[in-house]
Chains A and B, each alone.
Chain A
C-alpha cells in the first residue's frame, strides 16, 4: 500500500514511481484476501479503485493493461462498475502486444453492453483482428464479438466472418461458426450471405469439433423455427447414420425431434436409426437423448416407445440419482401419450415421493399428478395427504399446491364428489406448515359460488375450522379462516347450530387476526346475527323462506324436517337473549379499535344487537318490534346469492348512448367543483346519482328519478341498484343461445330463467362427452362462465411467446429456404420470393432500400472496398438461393 499511494504523489499524469511500484493483479487479490469481508475489504477495494483510476490514464500500455486487468477482476467478481473505463479497454485491444490485446478483449467481453458508447470504436479493431494471421488474435476477436455483438457489429463484420468460415484452420473455423449464431440473431440478413458456407461445413467430416459447432448452430436455429431446415434433412440423416461423435449425435437428434413433428414421412425414416443408436450406444447422455427424442416426437411408433420406456426403466433403477431423476423426467414426457408407461412404473414413482433428493421428489409428484383422473383422484389424494404429513414443510406445500391446481383445473373437471373435495380442503388447512391459504381460500369461496349442492358440506367444513382455537395461532391459514367465516355468514341457513358459529366468530383468539380478516369475521357475524334474529322473530317463515330460496335445492325430506325441528327448538327467547349478550359484551371493547373497517362493522353489529336486546327484554308484542322490520329487510337483502363474475364481463358491457369514453375530462373539474362527490365506493353510488341528477345523461336521469320515486324501502332501492347493475353488466340484447352467455352476477331472475338451464345443459354435455360413467352419485352442477374466459388468456400468451421465439431470424431464414425450395421447380417464382425476403428483412433492419438489387449493394458498400469479400458474399447469395433440395428423400 505504501508503495503505490506514496509514490504517485503527482496529481496529474502517473509518474515513473507509479509504474515502477504498480500493484499487480496478484497483489490486489492478496490484498483483498488479507482484509476481512465487509467494511475493511470494501475500503481496500475503493482505495485500489483510486489507484486504478490514476494508473489507467498512463501513457504506458503495460501500466494501463495491468490497471484494466485489475479493474476487470473487480468488476467481474466484486461487482465494481467499470463502464467508465470502456475507452481504455478499446485502446488496449489495438496494442501490438498480445497480452494487452487479450486484456482489452477480456475487459470488453465481460463489461461491454449494447449501450456502451465507445462500442463502435471497436469495429475496426475487430475487423483487423478477424483477419489477423495469428489464430489466437482471431479467436480473441471472435470470442469478444460472440458476447457483445450488436446489429451494427454484425452488419459490418459479416463479410469477415464469412471469409473465416472456409478457413483452413479448424481452430478458426469452429469458432467462427459458433460466433455466427450471435451474428444471425443480431442481423438476420447475414443469413443470406453465410448460410451456404454454413451448410458446407456440415460435410466437413475431417474435424469433429467443426461439425459439432455447425450442428450446434443448426440446432439452435431449428429450435426457433424448424420448418426452414426441412430441406437439410438428408444432410442431418447422413450425420445421424455416420457420425460416431456423441456430442454431434445429440444435437442432430434434437434437430430431428423438431423436424419430425413437421414431416411425418421423415419420422418413418429416422425412427429406425435412432432405435439402433439407443440399442448400441454406451453413452448415457446419448441414450437419454434418444429416449427424449422418441417420446416427444416419435410417440406413434409403438416399438420405439417400448424400447424407450425400457431404457427409462433402467434409468429409474440406477443408483446414480442423476439418472433416476432423468428417468422420471423421461417418464413425464411419455405420460401424455402413453400413460401405461407411468402406471407400469407406479411403484418407483410413488416411492420416489420420499426420496432424499428434492428434485426427484418433485418429478415424482408431477408424475403422480399426471396419473390423476376422475376415477382415482380420491385415492391419490389420500396417498398424497399422507406424504404431505410426513414430508418437510417445503415439499409438503409443494404437494398441496399441485393437488390444488390439478383438482381445480378446468373448473374442477375431475371432481365428481364435491363434498369429499371440500372436506379435503378442510383437511389441507390442518396440515402443519400449510402455506397455501390463499389458494384454499379462493377455492372454498369459488366452489361455494359455483356448486350449490355442496354448500351444506361447505358450511360444516367451515364451522369445523372456525371453532378450532388452535388454528388461529397459525397466521398462514388465516386466509382460510376468513373464507370459512365468509361461507358461514353467507350460507348460514345450512348451519345446524348458528349459535356455535357466533361463538366461534367471537372467540378471544380472534384478536390474532389481521384487521381486514377481523372485519370480515364481524361482517359474517352480522349476517349470522340477522339470520338468528330472523329465525327467532319469524319462526314459521324461516323454514318456509329456506324452501323458497332454494327451489332447485334438493335435499332429502327427512333431513329438511329434522333441521326445521332443531331450528324451532334452537331459537328460544333465552338462547337469543344469551346470544345478544354475548355479542354485545364481546364487541364493545372493539369500539375503541383504530382500524376503520373493523370499527365500522362493529358499530353496525352493535347497533342491531343493542336494539334487539332492548326490545326483546321489554317483552312487548313481537309484531311491534322495530327490530322485526329491520331484520326482515336486512335478511331480504342478504338472501340473494352472489354469483361468480366472468373475467371478461367488463368487455361485454355495451357503451350506453351518449357516453363518450374518449372524451377529454379536463373540464370535469369545473363541474365537480359544485358537487360533492362522495369518495367512498360501491353503495354510495345510488346517492351519487341522486345528487348530481343534472349532470348525468338522460338515460341515467330517467332511472334515478324512478329511483327517487320509490325510495320507500331500502330493499327496493337495493334491488333497483342490483337490477341496474345487472343491466349494466349484461346487455339484454345478447342472443339467448349465444354460447358466450353467462349467468349475471346479481340477477337471480335472469339466472333462473334461462342461464341455469343453459349451464346445466352445458355441463351435462361436457359430462356426456367425457364419460358415460356409472357414477353412484351424480356430479352436481358446476356453474361455469363463458368458455372463452380462460382460454383467450392462455392463447394470447402463447402467441406472444411465439413472436419472441421466432425473432428476426425466422423471417429471413424462412424466406430464404422457401424460395430455394421453390427455386427448383418454378424459377419464375424465385424473384418474387427474393424480393419478399428483401422486404421483410429491410423492414426488420429499418433500412430504406428500394429493392433487392440495392439490398445486395449495401453489403458491398459496407465491406469497404474489400473486393474479395464482396464477390464471395454475392456468390454466397446466389448459391444459397439455388441450394438444392432433395425432396425425394422425404417421399
Chain B
C-alpha cells in the first residue's frame, strides 16, 4: 500500500502531508526533515527511487519527482510497482494542472483543502482508487459545487476575503 504522500518545496517546506498509517506528529516532522535531507543531496538527472527502510520499515520505497520548485514524494511498500507509482504521480500532477490551470507552488500553498480533495479522489486508505485524471477533475468539480451550495450560509467575511484573495 501507499504509506504517505508528501509535497514539499526545494527549501524543505511541506506543502501537503498525508500519511496513510498512523504516525505521531513529531515523527511526521522528523520524517519530512530526513526525507528532505536525502532529496536535497541528490543530484539532478539521477534515478527517482530512495530506500525508506529506516523510517518506514522493511521493503518500503520512496519515489520522488521534481516539478519546478516542488518535490512530489510517495512512500510505498512492496505491494506497489515503482514505475506504476511514477505514473500515478504523473496523474496527480496532471490533475492538479487541470484543476488550477498551469499549477505552480502558490496554487498548492493557497489551496490546501482542494489539494487534499484531489488526493483523496486518487488514493483512499493507501489504495489507488482512480487513475483517470479527467474523472478526478469531474469529482473535484462536483465537490467544489457542493461546497458553494447556495443553501450554505455565505458570510460577509468570506466574500470580503474573496475580493482580496485574487
Contacts and interface: CB of A to CB of B under 8 A. Distances in A.
B48 A322 contact: yes
B47 A147 contact: no
A358 B46 contact: yes
A247 B83 contact: no
Interface string B125-153: 11111111000000100110011110111
Interface stretch (A211-219, A532-540, A777-785, A829-837): A211-219
Interface string A159-178: 00000000000010011001
Nearest to B45: A321
Contacts of B129: 174-175, 178, 209, 212-213
A343 interface: no
Contacts of B87: 285
A181 B125 contact: yes
B37 to A, nearest CB: 13
B124 A359 contact: no
B1 A220 contact: yes
Interface stretch (A75-83, A430-438, A593-601, A619-627): A75-83
A567 interface: no
B112 interface: yes
Contacts of B13: 77
Interface in A89-125: 96-100, 102-103, 106, 110, 113-114
A223 B79 contact: yes
B161 interface: yes
A143 interface: yes
Interface residues of A, number: 75
B104 to A, nearest CB: 14
Contacts of A283: 83
A22 B157 contact: yes
Given A20-B156, A29-B110, A79-B29, A321 B47 contact: yes
A639 interface: no
Given A114-B22, A181-B125, A98 B46 contact: no
Contacts of A223: 78-79
B114 to A, nearest CB: 11
B43 A97 contact: no
B108 to A, nearest CB: 11
A76 B116 CA distance: 11
Interface residues of B, number: 63
A22 B160 CA distance: 10
A23 B15 CA distance: 20
B124 A178 contact: yes
Chain B's interface: helix, strand, loop or mixed, by majority? mixed
B46 A181 contact: no
Contacts of B86: 285, 322
Given A76-B17, A359-B46, A146 B125 contact: yes
B113 interface: yes
- Interface of A: prevailing SS: helix
A812 interface: no
A294 to B, nearest CB: 14
A281 to B, nearest CB: 12
Interface string B30-49: 00000000000011011111
Contacts of A25: 112-113
Nearest to A81: B25
A769 interface: no
Interface in A38-72: 61-63, 66, 69, 72
B153 A19 contact: no
B152 A77 contact: no
Given A79-B25, A98-B146, A99-B152, A212 B128 contact: yes
Nearest to B161: A24
A325 interface: yes
Nearest to A137: B146
Interface string A334-377: 00000000000000000000001111100000000000000000
Contact of A143 (B120, B131, B132): B120
A321 B82 contact: no
Given A79-B28, A181-B126, A254-B81, 4 more contacts: A27-B161, A29-B110, A98-B143, A250-B84
9 contacts: A20-B156, A26-B110, A97-B151, A99-B146, A142-B124, A209-B131, A220-B1, A250-B81, A356-B46
Smallest CB-CB A-B distances: 10 pairs: A146-B125, A285-B83, A178-B127, A357-B46, A97-B152, A98-B146, A321-B47, A325-B47, A24-B161, A99-B147
